[in-house]
Amino acid sequence: MASGRVHAALLKPPSQSEEENNEEEKAWENFFAELESVDLTLGTTLRSIYDDQPNAHKRFMEKLDARIRNHDREIEKMCNFHHQGFVDAITELLKVRTDAEKLMGQVTDTNRRLQEAGKEVTVQTEEVICCRIQQRNMATTVEKLQLCLPVLEMYIKLKEQLESKRYYAALKTMEQLETVYIPRVSQYRFCQIMAENLPRLREEIKEISMSDLKDFLESIRKHSDKVGETAMRQAQQHKTFNSAVAKQASMGNYTKPVYSLNGRTHTHNGLMMDNSGDEDEADEEILTAQDLVDFSPVYRCLHIYTVLGDRETFENYYRKQRKKQARLVLQPQANMHETVEGYRRYFNQIVGFFVVEDHILHATQGLVTRAFTDELWNMALSKIIAVLRTHSSYCNDPDLVLELKNLIVIFADTLQGYGFPVNRLFDLLFEVRDQYNETLLKKWALVFREIFEMDNYSPIPVETEEEYKLVVSRFPFHDAEIEKQQDFPKKLPMSQSVPQIYTQVKEFIYASLKFSESLHRSSTEIDDMLRKSTNLLLTRTLSSCLQNLIRKPHIGLTELVQIIINTTHLEQACRYLEEFITNITNVSPETVHTTRLYGLSTFKDARHAAEGEIYTKLNQKIDEFIQLADYEWGMVESDGRASGYLMDLINFLRSTFQVFTHLPGKVAQTACMSACKHLSTSLMQMLLDTELKQISMGAIQQFNLDVIQCELFASSEPVPGFQGDTLQLAFIDLRQLLDLFMVWDWSTYLADYGQPTSKYLRVNPATALALLEKMKDTSKKNNIFSQFRKNDRDKQKLIETVVRQLRSLVNGMSS
C-alpha cells in the first residue's frame, strides 16, 4: 500500500502545488523507509517505482543521492559529537596497554606454573575419566545383565525341571520364556539360540512323556492283578461288614456305618466286631487304586499334551491302547478251568483294569468318558460271559463250580460298586447253577453207586436202643409194631443203604443251597430252585442208579426183594424231604407255584422195575432148572415118582416165596403166578419141541407125575392171598392135555369140541395133533409086529382116524 502511494506521488507533474510537494517528499521518505527495512522485500518496492514510469530511474537516483548525502551529514554530526570521547578513550587504551602487557606476562607465568602444577592432576583426571567410562560401561553391563539374568535363570530352571522330569512345569517355564523373558532381550544371539531350541525341547518332552505313558501302560497291565485282588477283597470285606451290621441290627445293637470303596471305612460310635482279626482289618486303611498305582505319568502326559495343544492325539492314543489291553486281559488261559486260582487271576485282572479306568474317569476331565468305559464294559461283559460259559462246561468238580460262583458274585459286586451294570452276570449264574447241579448230580451218582455197592441188602440189625435212636435220627422211620417191642436186638425192614441215601439227599440239598446264597433272589425262588434240583436228583440220578442196580447180573432175588422194600421206605420219606426244604427256605408248601418233589414216581418206577426184574430172574431160574431135565421119551413105563430136577425147582420156589413175605401182597402173588405160568409154558414147550420126534405113553405118564407135583405146589398156597384154585389154573392147559392122552378120551374131545362145557376146553387141536403125531411115530417104530395083534391094529387105526379128524379141525380153524 505504501509503495502504491509513493508511486502515485512520483507520477504527478512538477507544476503541482507546495502541498503536493510535501506529500511527494513524504512519499519518498516512506519509500526509502521501506527500502531500509530489512523485513520487506526490495523487489516489490523497486517494481512499483520502475513500472511504466518515464524518468523514474533518474528521479529515483536523485532522491537516493539526496538521501545518501543526508545520511552522511548525520554521520558526520555524530562523529563530531563523539570525537573527543573517542580520543579520550584511545588515550586511556594506550595507558592500559602497558598494564595489559605486564598482566599478560603475569598471566603467562601463572599459566606456566599452573600447567606445571596441573600435569599430575591431568593424569589423575584422565584416569578418573577412564574409571568413569568403565563405571558407565559396568553400569550398562549390569543393567543389560539384569535383563538377561532372569532369562538365564529361567533357562537353568528349565534344565533342572527337565532333569527332574517335571515336564509340565518345564512347559510352563518355556511359555514364560517365550512370552515374557526372551522378548526383553531378543537382540542377543544366545536368546535367539534359546528360542530356536525351545521347540526341540517340547518335542523331547512329548516323546519322553509318551515313553513314560507306555511304561505306565505296561506296568498297569502287569499290576492289574494286584489292583483287582485288592478291590475284590475290599468288596468281600464290605459284604462281610454289612452282614455283621445286619446281624447286630437284628440284635438291637445297630450303628450306622459309613463305607467307601474308594476311601476308608469309618463308623459312627465305633461299631464293635466279634472277631479280633476283623477289628485289626477295620483299623487298617483301605488301599485304593491310587495307593497301588502311580498315575502321575498319565496326569503328566495329559497335562503336557494339553499345554502343547495336542490333547486329542493323546486321548485317542490312550483309548486305543487301553482297548488293546482290554482284549488281552479278556483272553483266558487255556487251563483256567482246572483250578479256582485260574478264575481268580482272570477276574482280578479284569477288575483291576476297570478300577483303573474308573479312577482315570473321575480323576481326569475327558481323557476317558462314561460312554467309552460303558463301551469297554459291554464288550468285556460279552467276552466274559462267553469265556465263563465255555470254561465252566469243562468243570466236573462241584466244589470248583461253587467257588467259581462265589468269585462271580464278588466280581459282580465289586464292579457294581464302581457303577458298572452286572445284571447279565447274575443271569449267567443261573446257567452256571445248571452246570453246578449237573456236577452235583454226577458226584452224587458216584456216591449212590458206592452206597449200593457197599450195601448187604439185608434188614438193619439193631442191638441196643442207642443204635436204634441213631438210625431213627438219620432216617424218619416209624413202625408201631417194632416200637412196641421192648427187647433188643431188633431188625428194621430196610437195609443200611436207606438212611445213607436219605442223608445224602439232604446233603445234596445243602450243597445246592450253597449256590443259591448271595444271588439276590427271594426265598420263593430259592425254594423253587432247591425243589427242582432235588427232583433232578431223584428222577434222574437216583432213578438211574436204581435202574442200573436192578439190572446188574449179580443182584439176586433176595437183593431185589430188599430193593423193593427199600424203595417203599424211601417213598414214604419223601414228605419229610419236602418238610426239610420248607424249613430251610421258610416257604409254605401251600404257596402257589410251589414245585412238588417227584420222589414218589421215582421210587414207584424203581419198584416196578425191581418187580419186573424179579419176574425175569424167576423165569430165568426156572429155565435153568428145566435145562437140567433129562426125560427118556421112549420109556415104556414111568418111574412112579416125579423127576428130580422138578422137585429141586419146587423146593427153590418154596424157599424163594418165603423171602417174599416182606413184599406187598400183590407183588408176591404176581411173582408166584408169573413163575407158575412160565413153568407151565416151559413144560408145554418141552412136549411140543420140534426136535422131539417121538414120545411114548410111559414118558407121558412120567411127565404127568411132574405136572401133578406142580399142581400140588400151586395148591399149597406158597404165597398167601390167592382165592381158591387160582394158582392151579396156571397148569390147566397141561392138565387137560395130559388127561386127554392118559384117558385116551378122543371121542369125548371130538364130540364136545367147541362147546363151553367141554371137558377139554383148553386143549388146542393143533397141540393135540402135534403130540399125537409124536406118539404115532413111536407106535410104528416100537411095534413092528403089532399089525399081527388085533388090539394094536385097532389102536393104530384109531390114532390115524383121530389124526385125520384133528387135521380137519386145524384146517377148519386156519380157513
The better pLDDT of the pair 183, 482 is held by: 183
The better pLDDT of the pair 242, 15 is held by: 242
Q: Backbone phi, then psi, for 257, in 5-degree steps?
A: -90, 155
Q: What is the mean pLDDT of residues 254-263?
A: 38
Position 12 scores a pLDDT of 47
Could you report the per-residue pLDDT of 582-604, keeping only the tens digit for each?
888 877 766 645 566 666 677 77
Separation of alpha carbons 784 and 787, rounded Å: 7
Confidence class of residue 89 from pLDDT cuts 50, 70 and 90? confident
Residue type, 88: D
Question: DSSP assignment of 103-138, as one string?
Answer: HHHHHHHHHHHHHHHHHHHHHHHHHHHHHHHHHHHH
According to DSSP, the β-strands at 257-258 and 460-462 are unpaired
Separation of alpha carbons 423 and 605, rounded Å: 41
- Tell me what the pLDDT averaged over the chain comes to: 80
**Which of 14-28, 38-52, 483-497 is the most confident on average?**
483-497
- How many angstroms separate the Cα of 559 from the Cα of each of 93, 452, 463, 564, 668? 179, 11, 23, 9, 15
Q: Is 699 exposed, middle or buried (0-12, 13-18, 19+ CB in 10 A)?
A: buried
462: helix, strand or coil:
strand
The x, y and z cell numbers of residue 271, run together, are: 461299631
Confidence class of residue 270 from pLDDT cuts 50, 70 and 90? very low
Q: What is the mean pLDDT of residues 262-279?
A: 37
Q: Is the pLDDT of residue 154 over 80?
A: yes
Q: Backbone phi, then psi, for 460, in 5-degree steps?
A: -75, 120
Position 50 scores a pLDDT of 66
Segments in 251-284 forming alpha helices (H): 276-283
Beta bridge partners of 267: 257
Q: Is 454 exposed, middle or buried (0-12, 13-18, 19+ CB in 10 A)?
A: exposed
Could you report the per-residue pLDDT of 375-402, keeping only the tens digit for each?
989 998 899 888 888 887 787 788 888 8
Q: Is 174 exposed, middle or buried (0-12, 13-18, 19+ CB in 10 A)?
A: buried
Give the closest residue to 414 by CA, choosing from 199, 612, 239.
239
Position 231 scores a pLDDT of 85
Position 804 scores a pLDDT of 85
Locus of grid cell 419198584:
607
Position 552 scores a pLDDT of 84
258: helix, strand or coil:
strand
Q: Is the pLDDT of residue 242 over 80?
A: no
Could you report the per-residue pLDDT of 116-127, keeping only the tens digit for each?
888 888 888 889
Angle of the 423-454 helix axis to the 370-393 helix axis, nearest 10: 10
Angle of the 665-687 helix axis to the 644-659 helix axis, nearest 10: 170
The better pLDDT of the pair 256, 794 is held by: 794
Per-residue burial over 615-643, b if 16 or more Cβ lie within 10 Å, else e, is: bebbbebbeebbeebebebebeebeeebb
Position 130 scores a pLDDT of 93
Confidence class of residue 6 from pLDDT cuts 50, 70 and 90? very low
The x, y and z cell numbers of residue 742, run together, are: 392118559
Of all helices (H) and strands (E), which one includes residue 257? strand 257-258
Position 784 scores a pLDDT of 43
Q: Is the pLDDT of residue 35 over 60?
A: yes
Position 664 scores a pLDDT of 65
Residue 502: which residues within 8 A CB-CB, separation 6 or more? 474, 475, 476, 570, 573, 577
Locus of grid cell 407106535:
779
Of all helices (H) and strands (E), which one includes residue 163? helix 56-163
Give the closest residue to 172 by CA, choosing from 181, 446, 678, 602.
181
Yes or no: say if 695 and 633 are a contact pair by the CB < 8 Å rule.
yes
Position 135 scores a pLDDT of 92
Give the closest residue to 462 by CA, choosing from 448, 449, 475, 447.
475
The x, y and z cell numbers of residue 455, run together, are: 450195601
Position 129 scores a pLDDT of 93
Angle made by CA atoms 136, 140, 141, in degrees to the nearest 5: 115
Separation of alpha carbons 811 and 798, rounded Å: 20
Could you report the per-residue pLDDT of 703-720, keeping only the tens digit for each?
899 899 988 888 888 887
According to DSSP, the β-strands at 460-462 and 490-492 are antiparallel
The better pLDDT of the pair 508, 776 is held by: 508
Position 131 scores a pLDDT of 93
Position 760 scores a pLDDT of 86
Q: Is 784 exposed, middle or buried (0-12, 13-18, 19+ CB in 10 A)?
A: exposed
Yes or no: say if 430 and 516 are a contact pair by the CB < 8 Å rule.
no
Composition of the chain by helix, strand, coil, percent to 5? 75, 0, 20
The better pLDDT of the pair 114, 270 is held by: 114
Separation of alpha carbons 181 and 171, rounded Å: 14
Share of the chain above pLDDT 70, in %: 84
Q: Is 140 exposed, middle or buried (0-12, 13-18, 19+ CB in 10 A)?
A: exposed
Could you report the per-residue pLDDT of 304-327, keeping only the tens digit for each?
888 888 888 888 888 888 888 888
Q: Is the pLDDT of residue 268 over 50?
A: no
Position 54 scores a pLDDT of 66
Give the least confident one: 40-44, 173-177, 200-204, 725-729.
Answer: 40-44
Task: Please tell me the total number of residues recorded for the chain in this structure.
Answer: 815
Residue type, 146: Q
Give the closest residue to 616 by CA, choosing from 562, 560, 564.
560
Question: How many CA atoms does the CB half-sphere of 165 hold within 13 Å?
Answer: 10
Q: What is the chain's Cα-based Rg? A: 70
Question: How many CA atoms does the CB half-sphere of 387 hold within 13 Å?
Answer: 23
Q: Is the pLDDT of residue 128 over 70?
A: yes
Share of the chain above pLDDT 90, in %: 3
Residue type, 645: Y
Phi-psi region of 617 (alpha: psi -120 to 50; beta: other; left: phi over 0): alpha
The x, y and z cell numbers of residue 723, run together, are: 382165592
Yes or no: say if 330 and 383 are a contact pair by the CB < 8 Å rule.
yes
Position 260 scores a pLDDT of 38
Q: Backbone phi, then psi, for 491, in 5-degree steps?
A: -125, 125
CB atoms closer than 10 angstroms to residue 244: 18
Q: What is the mean pLDDT of residues 342-348?
A: 87
Q: Is the pLDDT of residue 13 over 60?
A: no
The x, y and z cell numbers of residue 680, run together, are: 407151565
Q: Is the pLDDT of residue 275 over 60?
A: no
